[in-house]
Amino acid sequence: MYALADCNNFFASCERVFRPELNGRPVIVLSNNDGCAVARSNEAKALGIKMGDPLFKISDIVEKNNVAVFSGNFALYGDMSRRVQEVLRGYSPCIEVYSIDEAFLDLDGIDVDFDAYAKEISRECWRQTSIPVSVGIAPTKTLAKIASKLCKKYPKLKGGCYMHKPQDIEKVLRKFPAEDVWGIGRRMMKRLETMGVKTAWDYVSLPETTVRSLFHLPGFRTWKELKGIPCIEMEDIIEPRKTICVSRSFSKEITDRSELCEQVANFAESAVTKLRGQKSIALEMIVFAITNRFKEYAPQAFSSSHVVIPDGTSDHRVFIRHALEGCRDLWRPGYGYKKAGVVITKLVQEEGFSHSLFSDMEALEKESRLSSSIDSINKTYGCGAVLLGSQGTGEIKMSREHQSPHYTTLWSDIPKAKVR
C-alpha cells in the first residue's frame, strides 16, 4: 500500500498559520513579481479565481471580496514543508518527498487499519504544524493520489481515505474525471475526448493495445496503476539533479547590457550555490534572455548562448565569469528583456571527477578554498552576505508588494508573544 499526503492549498495555508484571523476569508498567493495566483484558499476558489490567473485580471474580484493577497514567501513555505515531512516520517520508514506540498509513504510491512491510519496522519500533521493535509491510501501511487483528492472533496472523510476493494475503486473511477488523473495531461486529454473517454473508468476500459500504441509507456503505466497494478516505484533516495535552472522575470524590461549582466550574475550565483549543494561540477550552461511575449507589437527575441566550461567548475567566481561571457554574447541591442536565466545543462558528480592534465592544480585549490568560505559565510549570515562585485547589490529586479514576514526563518521576524 502507498499513502499520498497532500497539503491543502499549501501556500495559502502557510500564510494562515501565522494569521489565523484569515480563516474563512479568501486568500491567494502570487507568483514572483506578484504576477499570477498560484495558490488559492477554498474561499478564493469558490470566487472563481483559477490557478495561474494574472492578478490584474482578477483585481475586481479581489477588491469586492476582500481577498487577502500575498506575494510568494518561499522561505516560509520551504520551512513549513520540512515540518510536515518530519511528522510524516513518523508514519513510515520510507518516504518520497514528491514536491513542496506532497509526499508518498511506502506502507509495505505496516499492518494497521489503514483508514484510521490515514485519518491519524492528517490529524497529527494538523496538530503539529497547523497545515491541513489530505491523506489517501491505496494499492498504487496513482490511486493514492485519487484517494487524497476525495478527502478534499468530502470533509466527512476527516482528511483520510483508504481505497482498496475493486468494487469501491470502480465506483470512484466511474465518477472521477480522466483529466484529473495523475499522468493524464492536457494534450492526452484532447485525444481521449475524441475517443469518448471522460472518466478514469473510461480510460481503464480501453483495450491494452490501444493504450500502448497511442499513449506509449507513460500512458500504459497510468492505465495499469488505475487497475491496481503498481508500476511507479518509490523514489525515496534523493538523486542529484540532472539540470539546474535559475530564472526570473523582471518587474521592468531591461534595455541596458550591463544591467542584464548584473542580473545574470545573480542567477549564476544562485545556480552555482545549488550546484555546490549537491556536490556537482558544471560542464555546460545556457544563458538566456527573452522579451515580453505578451507585448505583441514589440520586437521579440529569445536570445541564448551555449557556454562550454572546458575543465568543468563549481567555483563561484569561475562559474559567474562564464555566465557573464554568455550574457555579453547573447545581448542584442534594441530589445527590452523581460526575463532571463541560467541553466546548467551538463553536470557530473564531484566525486571521481578528474581535472584535465594541464589544469593548474595549485590555482584550483586556492579557488576552491575561497569558494568554500563564501558558502560558509552565506550559510551562517544568510544568502547574499558576501557578493561578487559583478552581482551589484545582489538584488533581482522583482516586485513583491505583499510579502509576509519570514516567521520561521529570520530572527527579526519571529512572532512576539505578550505575557500579561
Q: Would you say 291 or 313 has its CB closer to DNA?
A: 291
Q: Would you say 1 or 55 has its CB closer to DNA?
A: 55
231 neighbors 221 (Cβ within 8 angstroms): yes
What is the sign, positive or negative, of the torsion defined by CA atoms of 322, 324, 326, 328? negative
Minimum distance, C-beta of residue 333 to DNA, in the bound complex (Å):
20
Minimum distance, C-beta of residue 293 to DNA, in the bound complex (Å):
8
Minimum distance, C-beta of residue 189 to DNA, in the bound complex (Å):
6
Minimum distance, C-beta of residue 412 to DNA, in the bound complex (Å):
25
Q: Would you say 293 or 369 has its CB closer to DNA?
A: 293
- Number of neighbours of residue 33 by Cβ within 10 angstroms: 21
Q: Is 346 exposed, middle or buried (0-12, 13-18, 19+ CB in 10 A)?
A: middle
70 neighbors 208 (Cβ within 8 angstroms): no
Q: Would you say 11 or 117 has its CB closer to DNA?
A: 11
Maximum pairwise Cα distance, the chain: 72
Rounded to whole angstroms, how far apart are CA atoms 279 and 283? 13
Q: Would you say 24 or 52 has its CB closer to DNA?
A: 52
Cell of 105: 509513504
- 85: region left, alpha or beta (phi > 0 left; psi from -120 to 50 alpha): alpha
Minimum distance, C-beta of residue 419 to DNA, in the bound complex (Å):
40
Cα dihedral: 22, 25, 26, 29 (round 10): -10
Minimum distance, C-beta of residue 417 to DNA, in the bound complex (Å):
33
Q: Would you say 21 or 320 has its CB closer to DNA?
A: 320
Q: Which residues bind DNA (CB under 7 A)?
A: 31-33, 35-36, 38, 52, 54-56, 98-99, 101-102, 145, 181-189, 216-218, 241-249, 251, 274, 292, 294-295, 338-339, 341
